[in-house]
Amino acid sequence: MENKCLVWFRKDLRLYDNPAIDAAKSFHHVYPLFIIDEDIYENKFLGKASIWWLENSLKSLNINMNKTLKVVKGDSLKIIPKLCEDLKINSVFWNRCYEKDRITKDTKLKNKLLANNINAKSFNANLLWEPWTIKNKSGNPYKVFTPFYRSGCLESSSPRKPLKKPEKIFFKKINSNIKEFSFNYSSIKNHWSTKFEKYWQVGENGANTNFDTFLKNGSKNYSIGRNFPGKENVSRLSPYLHWGEISPFEIWHTANSRMQGENKKIFLSEIGWREFSYHLLYNFPNLKEKNLKDNFDNFPWLENDALLKKWEKGLTGYPIVDAGMRELWETGYMHNRVRMITSSFLVKNLLQHWKYGKNWFWDCLLDADMASNSASWQWVAGTGTDATPFFRIFNPITQSQKFDENANYIKKYLPELNKLPTKLVFSPFEHDSSVLKNYGVVLGENYPYPIINYSESRKRALSTYSNFINKD
């Protein structure tokens, strides 16, 4: 066989610090490939926002590789061995993913290739610590974040240094009779997702620009400012991290050298939370659908599709909740503080099952990540391993007063409340209708009445939970 290799891209859509690319740098022919394999759960049920991001990310990567990337749809177990045979490829490189179905299929592929005398190697490109290497003193997976991060991760080893982008690599377009896949998603006129391009530069270059902007500006007051949705103190790197357009090793080491003190400490711990989510997903593969605390399997969640729809569309009558849900719909993103407020409202005040929130976020978030999305919803619902207690309920009024004190965030996404004085914005329903009308707000017409009474819903949640844990 000639000196040819295939590089199989998945969630590593970058050239810098890409171990699979690094392994290919000495080959004379490097064939880049991306497969939409619908045997894989994530690909089969990919959310609409994620499809938009993936399409644009692949376009960006293709340009960075002189338009040599082949995108196909089908079974990786059939496509890759067939290409190796047709093109006389003697090596296949890829970077690891951590979902159970991917691991199972990757193992079968590697065995199949090796049996045919094809060199098959996989690498770690996307996690600072491999999940199977982090165990507690009993040899079991950690179930609480703090000991996982401090003892399991920080005391075990330092993340490796990022690899440099190869100075020269010989990418070649795959010529085969396997049909090229075309999304044609962003070409749909007036589609919901077309507005995202106003807010995001997708791809490796966009990731680096975003990170650099954060380090120069937002990182200076990160430890405090990250809690305020109206401030520019968050990195917004999560979509880029999910698709591997930027390396966690690059983020870790760059932040370590350019950030200081408490800002650096907390930012790095947030990267640690991502690691913890993948640690949970690897060790508890049913994280996306099953309560990690299985006693919650019989919890008496309510079914109310009408309330769920109003939550999804940002029509609850609680401005901070509605602003968050409309930010999500408008930009494909939601500030983390507001994610906690909106999710608490759904599972505790509305007593809806966390899976409904997880599914909506999965469809609408550009950073929809099976590990982080599932772990975060279980954290809020109190059903996960490292869960916030069920009885911790975020008050949307006091949360907005504390973290959006000038109502800048609320007014940005709820323009119908723009003219209200700040003191009236956080809970319009508590003020006289004639006063509201003076500022152009009529409840029930241009802004909804609350869909529930917060105090009563809080009491109901606590009572439901108390009865549940105390039943025989």
Domain assignment of residue 465, yes or no: yes
Structure tokens at 218: 């937002």
CATH code for the domain in which residue 341 is found: 1.10.579.10
pLDDT greater than 90 at residue 345: yes
* CA 221 distance to own-chain centroid: 23
Backbone angles phi, psi at 419, to 5 degrees: -85, -10
CATH code for the domain in which residue 133 is found: 1.25.40.80
pLDDT at 385: 78
Asked whether residue 279 falls in the same domain as residue 132, the answer is yes
Asked whether residue 101 falls in the same domain as residue 144, the answer is no
Domain assignment of residue 152, yes or no: yes
Backbone angles phi, psi at 453, to 5 degrees: -85, 120
pLDDT greater than 60 at residue 230: yes
Among 12-26, 174-188, 286-300, the range scoring the smallest mean pLDDT is 174-188
Domain assignment of residue 224, yes or no: yes
Domain assignment of residue 21, yes or no: yes
Rounded to a whole number of angstroms, the distance between the first and last alpha carbons of the chain is 69
Q: Quote the percentage of the chain above a pLDDT of 90.
A: 90
Asked whether residue 102 falls in the same domain as residue 25, the answer is yes
Beta bridge partners of 94: 8, 122
Q: At 185, is the pLDDT very low, low, confident or very high (cuts 50, 70, 90)? A: low
Beta bridge partners of 443: 447
User: Of 240, 259, 283, which residue constitutes the final position of a domain?
Assistant: 283
Q: At 469, is the pLDDT very low, low, confident or very high (cuts 50, 70, 90)? A: confident
Asked whether residue 276 falls in the same domain as residue 305, the answer is no
Backbone angles phi, psi at 367, to 5 degrees: -100, 20
Query: What value does the mean pLDDT take over residues 336-365?
Result: 97
Contact 444, 310 (CB under 8 A): no
pLDDT at 443: 97
pLDDT greater than 60 at residue 186: no
Domain assignment of residue 447, yes or no: yes
Beta bridge partners of 120: 92
Comparing C-alpha atoms, which of 273, 356, 286, 350 is closest to residue 318?
350
DSSP letters for 250-310: HHHHHHHHH--HHHHHHHHHHHHHHHHHHHHHHHSGGGGTS-SSGGGGG---B--HHHHHH
pLDDT at 45: 92
Structure tokens at 457: 């819903």
pLDDT per position as a tens digit, 429-460 = 999 999 999 999 999 999 999 999 999 999 99
pLDDT at 187: 59
Asked whether residue 9 falls in the same domain as residue 135, the answer is no
Backbone angles phi, psi at 265, to 5 degrees: -55, -45
Q: Which domain holds residue 61?
A: 4-124
Domain assignment of residue 238, yes or no: yes
Q: Quote the percentage of the chain above a pLDDT of 70.
A: 97
pLDDT at 69: 96
pLDDT at 285: 94
Beta bridge partners of 8: 33, 94
Residue given tokens 């983390």 in the structure block: 336
Q: How many domains does the chain have?
A: 3
Asked whether residue 107 falls in the same domain as residue 131, the answer is no
R_g (Cα) of the chain, nearest Å: 24
Structure tokens at 418: 């723009």
Task: Tell which wins on pLDDT, 188 or 207.
Answer: 207
Asked whether residue 238 falls in the same domain as residue 300, the answer is no
Q: What's the helix, strand, coil split of the chain in %, to 5?
A: 55, 5, 40
Mean predicted lDDT score pLDDT of the chain: 94
What count of other Cβ atoms lies within 10 Å of the Cβ of residue 145? Answer: 21
pLDDT at 189: 62
pLDDT greater than 70 at residue 388: no
471's CB contacts (< 8 A; 6+ apart) are: none
Angle at 110 between CA 106 and CA 114, to 5 degrees: 175
Query: What value does the mean pLDDT take over residues 251-263?
Result: 97
Domain assignment of residue 67, yes or no: yes
Domain assignment of residue 452, yes or no: yes
pLDDT at 391: 79
Asked whether residue 141 falls in the same domain as residue 248, the answer is yes
Contact 347, 357 (CB under 8 A): yes
pLDDT at 251: 98
pLDDT at 134: 95
Asked whether residue 117 falls in the same domain as residue 44, the answer is yes
- In sequence order, which ranges of 177-237 are alpha helices (DSSP H)? 204-216, 222-225
Ramachandran class of 49: left when φ > 0, alpha when ψ lies in -120 to 50, beta otherwise: alpha
User: Of 96, 124, 152, which residue constitutes the final position of a domain?
Assistant: 124
pLDDT greater than 70 at residue 1: no
- In sequence order, which ranges of 345-405 are alpha helices (DSSP H)? 354-364, 370-381, 396-403
The secondary element (H helix, E strand) that includes residue 159 is none
Q: At 190, is the pLDDT very low, low, confident or very high (cuts 50, 70, 90)? A: low
Asked whether residue 452 falls in the same domain as residue 337, the answer is yes
pLDDT per position as a tens digit, 101-152 = 999 999 999 999 999 999 999 999 999 999 999 999 999 999 999 999 999 9
Structure tokens at 41: 């759960």
What count of other Cβ atoms lies within 10 Å of the Cβ of residue 95? Answer: 21
What is the Cα–Cα distance from 70 to 32, expressed in whole angstroms?
A: 6
Distances from the Cα of 266 to the Cα of 219, 269, 273, 365, 389, angstroms: 11, 5, 11, 24, 22
